[in-house]
A and B are shown apart, each in its own frame.
Chain A
Amino acid sequence: MKVRPVRGVAAIAIVLVTAMNGVAAPQTTLEFWTISLQPFFTDYVNGLVAGYRRANPGVQVKWVDVQFQAVEQKLLAAIAGGVPPDVVNLNVEFTSRIAERGALVDMDAAVPAADRAKYFEGLWSSGRFKGRSYGIPWYIAPPVLIYNGDLFKKAGLNVLTPPATEDAMIEAAKRVKDRARVYGFMPPLDGTRLMYLFLENGLPVLSANGKLAVFNSPAHVAYLQKYMDLFKADYFPDDTLRRGFTGAVERYSAGQLGMLLVGPQFLLRIKESNPEVYAKTFVAPYPMGKGRVIHAPLMALAVPRASKNHEEAGRFALYVTSDENQLAFSKLTVIFPSTKKAAADPYFRQKGTGPEWQARAIAVGELKFGRDLTVVVPNQTELFKIFREAVEGAFFGKMSAKAALDWAVREWNARL
C-alpha cells in the first residue's frame, strides 16, 4: 500500500492509494450504500464485497441497498445521526447538493493524480461544485429509445424504421395514441428534466459566466409550448410529471406505452416485470436534439466527511470503480464504465442478439455525445424547486409557457 501526503489539504482530506494489494487496518467495517441494485445485482455486489475482504483481511464491508427515491433523505439522516455510510452511490444532482452542505470529501484533493487520470476527464469533472469534484465516477448509461413493436404495428408504424429525431418521435407517439389507443410516450419532463431537453436542443440554461438564467428566450418558450400542446391533446398521461421514468417503465412493462426514453439498463426490469412485453421490445438510438448532446446520467461514489474511515473508504471506492470490476458490472446490464481502460475493452464492440445487445451497440455509438447535463448551481434545492414549479404550473394550467419561464428566470436571477 502506498500512502502519500497531499499537500495543502486540510485535516479532513483523505489520502488514497493507487494499489489494491495493501494491508488494511484491522477490524475496520465499511458501510457501502448502493442505489436500487437489489435484487438484480445482488450476486455481483456480494462478489465485490467478498473480493475486497479477501484482499484486505480485517476489513468488513456491510452493504446497504437503498431505493433511488429515498437515498438522499436517508443519507442526510444518517449523517445527522452520526452513523454515515463510508461509501455511498449518488448521482450528480445528489452529489452537488450534499457537497454544498460541506458533507462530502473533496475527491480532487483525496485521490492522487495518477488515479484520477484513469477516469474520463469529462466524467471526473461532471458535477464539480465550486470547482471541486466530490464523487468518483462509477458508470454511465446513455438513454436509448425502447419501443413496443406490437403497438408500432397497430399504429401502422414501421418497426424497422424507428423515429430518429425528436419531432419524428412525437409524430410516432401521436400515431400510437390515435390508432393503438394507448399512450405513445411519456416525455422526460418530470422534476428538472426539461433542463436536459433544453440543453440537448442547444438551448442554454445559464449564461456563459453562470450568473444569469437564460431559459426564457422565445425558443425556450416555444419548446415548452410544444409539449404543453401535446399534453392538452392528451398525447401523454397526467402522471408523466409526477412519476417520471419510474411511471414510464411501469406503464411500458404493462404493455400500455408505445415508447420509452430511458437508460438501457431498464431493459432488465422490463424483462423481469413482463417477459411478453420484453419479447416485443425493440431498441433504437435516442432521438437526438439539435444540440448534438445527450444527457447521460453519471453514477458516482462519494465519501461522507462524517465517515470515520476516509482512507479505507476511498480505497474501497477505487476498488469498486476499478477497470476489472466496472467491466464485470457492464457485462451484467447495459451500462458503461467510467475508466478509459475498461471502456476500451473489446467486449463493447461485440455483437449479440436480443434487445440488450442491440442497446449496447447503440449506446456505444452514443457515448461520444453523452455528458451528464445536470446544472450545478448554488442553492440547488430551491432553484430546482422553482424550475419544477414553473414547469408544472405551465402544464397544469396555472401559467402560460412564457409566464412560467419568465417567473422562474426572475427567481433564479435574484438568487444566482
Chain B
Amino acid sequence: MVSRARVAIVGPAEFKDKIMPAFFKKFSTVMYFPSESVKLSVGKKTTAIAGNLDIGTFHYVLLLPKQSKKEFYCTLSAILSKRTKVSAPKDTLLYFWNRPAMLRRISSAGVPIERSASISQDVAFNFIKDNFKFPIVLTTPKGKEIRVNKEETLKDVLSLFSAGHTVSIRKPMKNAEEYVTFVSEKETVGFKVVNDKKLPVKVGSDISSLAQKVRRKFNLDFCSIKFIKKGKKICVRDIKLVPDFEAFFNVSGKDVATVMANEIIHKITVPDISELFEKTITGIGKIIDKAARWVSNEISNLRAFK
C-alpha cells in the first residue's frame, strides 16, 4: 500500500540514489532536495524553499546531514521543526558533532562509553606526551580515527587538526569486537567488523537495548551507532546520523532505506480524503439547517406580530 503522505528528504546529492528507490515504493509523493538547492529565509517569513516548493508543507522531512554542512542543517531543522515533523531536531544537531558533548550525553543516558580525554589542538602535543603511553587513538572533529604508535609521528598527525579544534584521545581497546548498528524506533540491525572485514550478525538484546537508549536520548528517529564489545562489556564508540546504506545491504541484506520508509509511514497521520469530504458536507448541511430554522422562526414571529 502506498501512503498519501508527502515526504521530503534533504541531503547531499550522492545519497539520492541510495534512498529514493525504497521511498518511491512507499509514498506517492516523495522528493529529494539536495542541500545545495535549498534557500532559507527569515524576516518577512521564515521558510525553507527548494525550487518553488516550501519544504515545511511536507508531512515529514528526513534529514541526511553531512558534518561539513552542520550549521546549515541545524538552521534548516530549526526552521522546519516549527511546521512539520523532522527526523533530527535542532537541539540535537547543535551538539551532535561536538564529541565531548556527545559522549557525555550518551553517558548520562546510562550507556557506557570508552574513557577519553579531549583537549584543544594547540596544546595537545605536550598534554599527550605527559599523560599517555603509546599507542593512542586520536579522533578528529569529523570523527576520523587515527592510531598513533609513537611520539615521532604525533606532531605530524596533530598538524592535520586546525588550531582550536578538539582532539579526542583514547587508548586502543585490544581484542574488542566492533558492531555497527542502524537504529530506528522498531528495529536495530547491524554487522560486525573483524580485522576490517564486515560480517553479518544478529544484534543481541544487550546491544539493541543500549542502542535504543542512545537514540531516545538524542531524540532521533534514526541513527547509526558503533559499539565496542569486549567480553560482556559493551560501550558506545561513535554515533552517526546517516547510515552506510550500502554496507548494511551488502553485509546484512537489510535495506535500511526501506526500514526508514516503513517507520516514517507510521509517524504521519494524513486525513482520509473521503472522511474530509464527508465532514465538509455534514458541516454545510448543519449550517443550512440552522439557517432554515432561523428563517422559519422569523416568519412565525412576523405572523404572530400581525
Is the A/B pair a real complex? no
Q: List chain B positions with a Cβ less than 8 A from chain A.
A: none
